[in-house]
Homo-oligomer: A and B are copies of this chain.
Amino acid sequence: MWQSAGVMAGNTFGTALRLTTAGESHGPGYVGILDGVPPGLELSEADLQPDLDRRRPGQSKLTTQRMEPDEARILSGVFAGRTTGTPIAFLIENRDQRPKDYSEIRDKYRPGHADYTFDAKYGFRDYRGGGRSSARETSVRVAAAAVAKKLLRERWGVGIVGYVKSIGDIEGRIDDPAAVTLEQVEANPVRCPDQEAAARMAKLIERMRAERDSVGGVSELVATGVPPGWGEPVFDKLKADLGKALFSLPAVLGVEYGAGFSVATARGSENNDPFEMREGRVATRGNRHGGMLGGISSGQPIVLRCAVKPTSSLPQPQDTVTRAGEPTTIATKGRHDPCLLPRFVPMGEAMIALVLADHGLRQLAVQGVLD
């Protein structure tokens, strides 16, 4: 058995800011190398922890109870408290690797999971906890993105805030997406800034756990302060790179910007956001376009939404087949999230941060050659 990957294996993301990752759910840990961070940025491990804590398991009773501190150790690229321009390597060690019997997920395909497709692809997989397909790999994305967020904030004043917009049939009321603050989001374990809705969502999640079921939802994410001009005209439109970034996250089945799918029933005369001058700058009345025109940032807030499916792992038995093709059932034992949305928020923010910092540096490169 000889198989190949390389540039074709897709373990690297980004262009000017470039993250390469490795690691499996039950191996020694996860490693990331973030290349392209400018020198001179103050940085320490303490900068990475807050978002890692927002993503890590066991953070509230609404999430899985796997206990991982998810601490990232910086191994290079920082000297005397500042980045040097050389690549920054992170190591996040796995701690809570319970010795257990994996024979069930070794031999049966969990519905909604990548067990079957990995076998179809490689013929061989590290089945412990999903191996490379575990959502635990997003920890290293979140660590890297904490650097990107800091760069975005300090260099351009860009802020990124994500939140839960709906879970099941419960929708939070958000009057102005661009006005939502991190504090409002973090005020409850659901991460919905509508506190009343959040309470109902929490109950729904708890009910799902009790019913051995799971539920999906929508996360809305907003980037403010993005200058006009970010994004490239043809293939690397900002909406294209953001789309790839968000769809690269587990469980995302839909992405939309601004007015999103509702543009399908709109007329041009109502859908176009007219240009106007505001505070001396070109702006638009309305933001149905979601902050990008021709795939390039317009200076308006970037607003997008992700549809996140209900957790595939369920404690109730589900029909499936074995590797040998025999019908059977499988029920996930132990630890899982009845709803992915609360922990999705930092993951979504992370991917947006990596894309925006990448395009910010790309656009600086454009401007850097101005005489």
CB–CB A327/B276 < 8 A: yes
CB–CB B4/A36 < 8 A: yes
A73 to B133, CA, bound (A): 22
Contact partner, A4, options B91, B319, B361, Cβ 8 Å = B361
State the Cβ distance, A129 to closest chain B Cβ, in Å: 12
The answer to whether the Cβ of A197 comes within 8 Å of any Cβ in the partner chain is: no
CB–CB A368/B371 < 8 A: no
The answer to whether the Cβ of A131 comes within 8 Å of any Cβ in the partner chain is: yes
Considering the complex of A and B, which 8 residue pairs feature the smallest CB-CB distances, nearest first?
A368-B368, A114-B294, A10-B236, A6-B36, A10-B232, A1-B40, A214-B268, A254-B256
13 contacts between A and B (CB under 8 A): A1-B370, A2-B364, A6-B14, A6-B18, A8-B16, A8-B236, A12-B20, A16-B365, A31-B91, A38-B369, A111-B275, A263-B307, A274-B320
CB–CB B295/A248 < 8 A: yes
User: Chain B residue with minimal CB distance to A239?
Assistant: B247
The size class of the interface chain A forms with chain B is: 35 or more
State the Cβ distance, A4 to closest chain B Cβ, in Å: 5
Q: Give per-residue flags for A229-260: 1 if the beta carbon is below 8 A from chain B beta carbons, else 0.
A: 11111111101111111111010111111111
A208 — which chain B residues lie within 8 A by C-beta? Answer: 267
Tell me which residues from 1 to 47 in chain A have a Cβ below 8 Å from any Cβ of chain B: 1-18, 20-24, 27-31, 33, 35-41
CB–CB A22/B268 < 8 A: no
CB–CB A33/B31 < 8 A: yes
A292 — which chain B residues lie within 8 A by C-beta? Answer: 117
CB–CB B244/A253 < 8 A: no
A237 — which chain B residues lie within 8 A by C-beta? Answer: 10, 247-248
Q: Give per-residue flags for A78-113: 1 if the beta carbon is below 8 A from chain B beta carbons, else 0.
A: 010010111111010000000000000000010111
The answer to whether the Cβ of A76 comes within 8 Å of any Cβ in the partner chain is: yes
A250 — which chain B residues lie within 8 A by C-beta? Answer: 294
CB–CB A24/B235 < 8 A: no
Known: A22-B75, A264-B218, A275-B321. A4 touches B366 (CB 8 A): yes
Other A-B pairs beyond A79-B125, A364-B368, A368-B369, 6, CB < 8 Å: A10-B233, A24-B79, A85-B124, A111-B273, A263-B310, A277-B327
CB–CB A314/B24 < 8 A: no
A109 — which chain B residues lie within 8 A by C-beta? Answer: 275, 282
Q: Give per-residue flags for A324-341: 1 if the beta carbon is below 8 A from chain B beta carbons, else 0.
A: 010100000000000000
A214 — which chain B residues lie within 8 A by C-beta? Answer: 267-269
User: Chain B residue with minimal CB distance to A108?
Assistant: B275
- Comparing A177-185, A187-195, A296-304, the segment that makes contact with chain B is A296-304
